[in-house]
Amino acid sequence: MTGRTTPQSEKKPPGWKVEGVKKPESPPEEQPNLLRRPPNRRLLIIALVLFAVNWYLTSLFFARPEIELSYSQFLDAVEDGEVETVFSQGDSIEGLFREPQANPENPEEMAEAFSTVRPSWADDSLVETLRGNGVEISAVDPEQRPIWQQLLFGFGPTLLLLWLFVSMWRRAGSALGGLGGLGRSRAKRFEASSQRTTFDDVAGIDDAKAELLEIVDFLKNPGKYTRLGGAIPKGVLLSGPPGTGKTLLARAVAGEADVPFFSMSASEFIEMVVGVGASRVRDLFDEAKKVAPAIIFIDELDAIGRTRGGGVSLGGHDEREQTLNQILTEMDGFTGSEGVIVIAATNRPEVLDVALLRPGRFDRHVAVSPPDQRGRLMILEVHTRNVPLAEDVDLGSIASTTPGMVGADLRNLVNEAALMAARRNHEKVTMADFADALEKIVLGTERQIMMSEAEKERTAFHEAGHALLGMLLPGADPVRKISIIPRGRALGVTFQSPDADRYAYDRNYLEGRIVGALGGRAAEDVVFGTITTGAENDLVQVTRIARSMVGKWGMSDVIGPITLIDETREPYFASEVGERTQELMDEEVRRIVDECYQRAVTVLKEHRSQLDAIAAALLEKETLDEAEAYEVAGIKRSEAVTAAG
């Protein structure tokens, strides 16, 4: 695609012993008693803080409102018969009113209790005055509550919070857990009975599925193999581009074998505390061995499985190596992994440590490649099982126009088509919904921006240049759609895709790709005599293809059949390419691009009338599909296919 852009269990079946002798379980009296662990200092501090906070809050919420009276106000209240009970401790006097009284300083505040202080030099007969006005003189604090209420409200909430905290602490911790359970495995366990995935849910990758059928058969019938001295592979490494179904394959193996399935991302092993990753690995394998036969799935293995000992020691380097060493030990150590199969997935198998890839660790390497046309059809059939399709939907046609798409892409396509149909209030998903969904995914979402007539005209010629060269160059991918409607970052797009899947590319095809990508810039140069920034994305594609031709695929007579670009090398390693060779590669890249650009300019000048016709049609309709584009250019689609052959 080119365009003009603006300036991303239960009982264990027999035969599971692989090697070593399983350590017998400890008798009940030898089991570690977690309740006898010495008290944690931090736990005691937290408990004391909770007691203090609870006592303070209790005193606030359960104390009666109280007002402070002067001694004169207190005597007046006694004489007026407003005081019911008094309690004295030294010169301090506290008591209760017969009825709630207003605070002299704040009349809106009502209180049942009061307090005052009797002057030490007072010589009045206070006791007689109190008794004369019917006031009860008590030796018990009127504010004092029964002891059971004090214990309940004072210590009950604190004890409850402390019990909850201790329960959570003990649940999070374990003998391997360390501080707060940092060393415990975070793997998610999926039982085969719930959310079961089988090979019926996996389509389009039959080669990879066939490799795993033996694993499933061994998990179901281990005695069939062990009686002949065979041993199940310790590990299976699934490698391939993102979205090809590596995780789905692993879950299908667990579902078919009807065994527990532990899933964890490799990055979840690593923590800032050194040694936690290795502890989590041990805990994960221990959990899996308890319910063996079981499957452990580690996603994105390259996060911890990179080659050891290379480069400088960066942050987390030691922790990553310790985690990797523990995985190596668990998979093929002295004790062995009894009935535990490790399935790992990675997008970059070339960066993995050689110790992981040797027999005894990951014995089987399964390449999960993007599906071919037949595979894409099968994937579409799986994802549309619960989608009502209209009669005009041709899944075979959709599969043929989606080369390079993987399972995740096709699932997204079906979902977008269903959403599109729902927005349009369709009863079923139509072929038009699929076409618009594919256009949205491949070309981008339309942008509502206003372009000037001059900008629109330049964009039309830019896209016409891409399209015309795609129609005229032998072996070029057919043009599927041309549009000058802004989408994503592009002001216009030209979509090309092959009629059949390609697995190898010759020099002529790659040079044709470069010529076609430069067609927009060349058209602007031919028509307007100037160039703009609209070819930014085109130039990125051109440079990538030309550099790969010279540095990776040996398509330069000057450089020869050697590889100069090693994508597996870490960025901090010094380059193995000499300065002179690097200069030669740059010169060859420049030569290829210059020759292709001159070829694009020459072809467009020779077919200027067809270029103008396509641009005019774009200015009128804004979007041309495959049939319209070839008709406007005056080129028969059959002739283009013949030229491509």
Q: Read off the tokens for 561.
A: 């059949």
The one catalytic residue in 94, 439, 457, 463 is 463
| Strand order across the 2-5 sheet | 2-5, 490-496, 479-483, 623-625
Residue in this structure with the two tokens 């592979």, named with its chain if needed: 233
Residue 588 and residue 570 in contact, taking contact as beta carbons nearer than 8 Å: no
Question: What are the beta bridge partners of residue 97?
Answer: 83
β-bridge mates for residue 89, sequence order? 92
Maximum distance among all alpha carbons in the chain? Answer: 128
Q: What angle do CA 389, 395, 398 make, to 5 degrees?
A: 120
Do 596 and 549 touch, CB atoms closer than 8 A? no
The DSSP string of 577-632 is S-HHHHHHHHHHHHHHHHHHHHHHHHHHHHTHHHHHHHHHHHHHHSEEEHHHHHHH
Do 33 and 497 contact (CB within 8 A), yes or no?
no
Neighbours of 15 (CB within 10 A): 17
Q: Is 463 a catalytic residue?
A: yes
How far CA 499 is from CA of 472, 478, 593, in Å, comes to 16, 7, 26
Give CA–CA dist 541/2, Å, rounded. Answer: 9
Q: Dihedral through CA 71, CA 74, CA 79, CA 81, nearest 10?
A: -170
- Sorted by sequence, the CB contacts under 8 Å of residue 429 that are 6+ apart come out as 387, 388, 389, 390, 393, 417, 418, 420, 421
Q: Provide the annotated active-site residues.
A: 463
